[in-house]
Amino acid sequence: MSVLTPPAIPTPALRIIRIALAAGALLFGCLGLWLAGQRSEPPSDPANLAKIVYISYGFSALCAAGVFGVRTVRSRMAPAARPQISLIGWALAEASAMFGGVVQVLGGGILPWVAGMLVIAFSWMQIPADPEAE
């Protein structure tokens, strides 16, 4: 029985993927900021919105912990298998920013989205695009 090995992803392609993930979250946050400026009435239920904001902060913290976990797993893997786990870590960070953007669109302010973007920056520091780097 043979083991399938994933194809190697070149480092420039990984950098492009990483930038594309961050650019999508950045554009969504800018769109949410613009939409929040167009709002003429306050959110209908501020108590529930406050809960959602706190949930988004918790989700960002969990995603940051997940990125750190992905980095730990990645350091134990062979260099050929690192690109796939790197993509998982970057996508986890993007999920944090996108959820913060959704909260922003719902009326929760810009801070949940900023927290998600900080998780993306953290993931860029913790998970390098070069598969050979630890």
CA pair distance 22, 116, nearest whole angstrom = 10
pLDDT, one tens digit per residue, over 62-102 is: 999 999 999 999 999 888 888 889 999 999 999 999 999 99
| 100 CB-side CA count, 13 A | 31
Tokens at 99, concatenated:
């959820």
pLDDT, mean of residues 2-18: 79
pLDDT band at 53 (very low <50, low <70, confident <90, very high): very high
Q: How many CB atoms lie within 10 A of CB 59?
A: 19
Tokens at 83, concatenated:
């690109």
pTM: predicted TM-score of the whole model, two decimal places: 0.88
Contact (Cβ atoms closer than 8 angstroms) between residue 127 and residue 73: no
